[in-house]
Structure 1
Amino acid sequence: MIVWLNGTHGAGKTTTSALVQQLLPDSGVFDAEKVGETLMDITPGLPATDNFQHWPPWRPLVVETARRVLDYTGGTLVVPMTVLVEQYWREISTGLAHYAIPVRHFVLHADQETLRGRIESDSPAGTWGFRLTYLEPYAEAARTWLHSEAEVIDTTHLTPTQAALQIAEAVRSEVTDTSEHIRQGN
């Protein structure tokens, strides 16, 4: 299974993913950003872009990497990764479904003011610009498709531990319900 933690910068994905991993037995964290970093290291460089997700190889490589890791380790992969382009999410989720990998998609949400405050207080000043540029695209994705495609966890007034507990409980409930369904022969 994959537990995908979506949301923009400042929502708490990285911190929450480590906590979710501690709460779910046989789980690990897969940082899909590392796939993008690998693509950025290709020389000569791939066509210029402001986001490695725009490179067509990134999405299938994320799917293939997740599949191979799960084939090797089993269990659950927690993936903290912002995906704000609906087409890209469709490619990833369809690719995972092709391999019969169940996905629980969560969006860690916070209001714009909270996100801006977290970005400005949690990161070096030089990285604010990059992270802040994603606030409006996140708001647009949330309005148009993202929130209807995932379970939204509003982190505006939650600690990362509280958010992780909500996610882990939802995932454990699904696993328990599925196991009971199988035991009953349904």
Structure 2
Amino acid sequence: MLVWINGPFGGGKTQSAYEIRRRLPGSVVCDPEHVGFGLHRMLPPALRADFQDLPAWRRSVYEMLDLALTAYEGTVIAPMTVVEPAYFREVVGRLRERGHDVRHFALLADRETVLRRLRERGFGHAVRLFAGKDAPLRRESFAVSKLDHCLERLRGEEFAEQVWTDRLTVPQVADRIAAAAGLTLAPDTDQALRGRLRRTWTGVKHIRFD
């Protein structure tokens, strides 16, 4: 099974994906964003626009996920924002046509909730720590600029199933996704501090400077 976790930038996709992986033995996270970063590095900086607009990205993500789903026995989890219906069909639609069991979830929240999470999430503070307090948080700025568009698009029927996360913790979001997908997660035994440290470390590991 592929569990595709969609949602606005800063909506909790990566945290939810790694929470599921932590509590679902044999599962693996395959992040389509890595393909985009690799393609960007091959291009001159002036040509590095939205990598989802590159047919090579959509084709590569489809092929890599098709390989993982064909050759790997465990559940595959893909945290990735995709809001263009044509791009969604080109990747998720093709995987379904190929016969793979794809469960899609769009994590949604009120605009103010997402903005608060963007302000609080770890990489912003880490960027200031390592690059200086005046360093531009390019990814945060990009996330804010795309927020309204993402929230509007992801309410559409083609992006069902939607999960509203305003009043849910990360473990609760993982529980909700797993239940809808028919997956059984191990109980969440983290105490509050340990869980917060774990999620902070997950955020730090996914800091990008390019």
- TM-score, structure 1 as length reference: 0.84
Counterpart in 2 of 1:18?
A: 18
Matched, 1:162 2:172: yes
C-alpha distance 77-46 of structure 1, shift in aligned 2 (>3 A): farther
Give the letter for the 1:25 counterpart: P
Q: Which shifted more, 82-91 or 63-72?
A: 63-72
Classify the secondary structure of the residue corresponding to 2:177: helix
Matched, 1:107 2:106: yes
C-alpha distance 169-134 of structure 1, shift in aligned 2 (>3 A): same
In 2, the alpha carbon distance for the partners of 1:13 and 1:67 equals: 21
Question: Does the 8 Å contact 1:23/1:165 carry over to 2?
Answer: no
Structure 1 residue 135 displacement after superposition? 0.6
Question: Does the 8 Å contact 2:5/2:107 carry over to 1?
Answer: yes
Give the letter for the 2:30 counterpart: F
Identity %, equivalent residues: 35
Matched, 1:120 2:119: yes
C-alpha root-mean-square deviation of aligned residues, in Å? 2.1
Structure 1 residue 49 displacement after superposition? 4.8
Unmatched segments (≥5 aa) in structure 2: 125-135, 185-210
- TM-score, structure 2 as length reference: 0.75
Q: Aligned runs of 1:42-57 on 2, under 5 Å? A: 42-43=42-43, 45=44, 48-57=47-56
Aligned length: 171
Q: Which shifted more, 150-159 or 90-99?
A: 90-99
Which consecutive segments of 4 or more residues in structure 1 shift more than 2 A?
Answer: 22-26, 45-50
